[in-house]
Amino acid sequence: MTPREYVDQAIPHEAGHILVGRILGIPISRLDHVVVRGPNNELLPGNFATKTLASDPAAVHITPLIVLQAYAYMVGGGLAGNIVSRVAAEEYGLEKDRADLKVVSTKTLEESGRTSKTGY
């Protein structure tokens, strides 16, 4: 994947997290982008990350179901952003989202946008 392709897929992905999170009341604090140096000292795009409230495995059992559901939908919003924009998601970012989702839900990332309340 070229640096431009990486940025092009990251934009709708992170926008999906931000949009769904804001709609559902999940606090979104910022969007981070790490810039790295390439082998010829050129600037290359590194990781993107939407900074939000963290899912704390120790607190899941006392977190209201509605908050867990909103968080799960926000996590799934990244993949939804890629799907809606018809820009394939980058697997590295999806793996991070899958790990975040597992903290609060038994659903897969692909299922997290459904309205069913089972699996939480």
The verdict on residue 110 lying in a domain is no
pLDDT tens-place string over residues 79-88:
999 999 999 9
The verdict on residue 118 lying in a domain is no
Its pTM surpasses 0.85: no
The verdict on residue 109 lying in a domain is no
Q: How many domains does the chain have?
A: 1
What's the pLDDT score for residue 55?
A: 62
What's the average model confidence in pLDDT over 52-74? 83
List the domain range (segments joined by +) for residue 27: 3-104
The verdict on residue 63 lying in a domain is yes
The verdict on residue 112 lying in a domain is no
Concatenating the DSSP letter of every residue in 70-118 gives: HHHHHHHHHHHHHHHHT-PPPHHHHHHHHHHHHHH-SS-TTTTTS---T
The verdict on residue 100 lying in a domain is yes
